[in-house]
């Protein structure tokens, strides 16, 4: 039996337990007011964490794309030199081929990294689309005489990052998780 007086009930703080602490479940809020404060405090932190993971994924894929472009670009230069030509000659004489080879090189680098991070093949294919759609669009602009041959590579490169971000935003939830969550999804 409680011996509290009505004055003690009125003087009790609003966020104090409305039932004895022994009856509260573990992790259960003390009161509705405490529940609201807990949600308000944790929301910005969770949002910042998701944004950090999203940006980390973007940065890692961008670096993978650049590494693929550089490593496979060296291979391309070697093959073209053995054939008696150069990258700059192909870029001028066949800008369509140059654009597609660049998209391929970047896709390979990014896909290798994404698979290392245990992203699904579906997610890798979506990112490959983000590499090839700008290349095909740049080729279309060239064929329609909207841009010159020497601009194909620049148009392609400048459209790839926004295309990657668009694909990531479509799967915002997947790209906003810690990297280790992809390993759990692949194994489970």
DSSP string, 28-82: --SSHHHHHHHHHHHHHHHHHHHHHHHHHHHHHHHHHHHHHHHHHHHHHHHHHHH
At residue 187, the pLDDT reads 45
Number of domains, the chain:
1
Residue 51 in domain: yes
Q: Is the pLDDT of residue 142 over 70?
A: yes
Residue 31 in domain: no
Most confident of 46-50, 146-150, 181-185: 146-150
Closest CA to 61 of 107, 129, 121, 120: 107
pLDDT digits (tens, 9 = 90+) for 101-115: 999 999 999 999 999
Residue 1 in domain: no
CB 133 within 8 A of CB 160: no
Residue 37 in domain: no
Q: Whole domain around residue 69: which residue ranges?
A: 45-177
Residue 35 in domain: no
Answer whether 0.85 is exceeded by the pTM: no
Confidence of residue 64 (pLDDT cuts 50, 70, 90): very high
Residue 27 in domain: no
pLDDT digits (tens, 9 = 90+) for 2-32: 555 545 444 444 444 444 544 545 555 544 4
Residue 117 in domain: yes
Q: Determine what percent of the chain is predicted with pLDDT higher than 90.
A: 56
Residue 101 in domain: yes
Q: Is the pLDDT of residue 122 over 90?
A: yes
CB 61 within 8 A of CB 174: no
């Amino acid at each position: 039996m409680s011996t509290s007086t009505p004055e003690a009930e009125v003087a009790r703080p609003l966020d104090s337990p409305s039932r004895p602490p022994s009856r509260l479940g573990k992790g259960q809020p003390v009161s509705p007011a405490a529940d609201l404060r807990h949600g308000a405090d944790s929301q910005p932190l969770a949002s910042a964490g998701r944004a950090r993971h999203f940006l980390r994924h973007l940065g890692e894929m961008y670096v993978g794309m650049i590494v693929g472009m550089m490593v496979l670009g060296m291979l391309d230069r070697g093959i073209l030199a053995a054939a008696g030509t150069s990258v700059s000659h192909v870029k001028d004489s066949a800008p369509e081929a140059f654009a597609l080879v660049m998209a391929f090189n970047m896709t390979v680098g990014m896909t290798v990294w994404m698979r290392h991070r245990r992203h699904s093949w579906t997610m890798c294919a979506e990112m490959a689309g983000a590499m090839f759609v700008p290349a095909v669009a740049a080729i279309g602009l060239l064929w329609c005489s909207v841009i010159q041959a020497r601009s194909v590579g620049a148009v392609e490169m400048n459209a790839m990052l926004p295309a990657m971000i668009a694909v990531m935003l479509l799967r915002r939830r997947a790209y906003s998780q810690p990297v280790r969550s992809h390993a759990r999804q692949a194994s489970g």
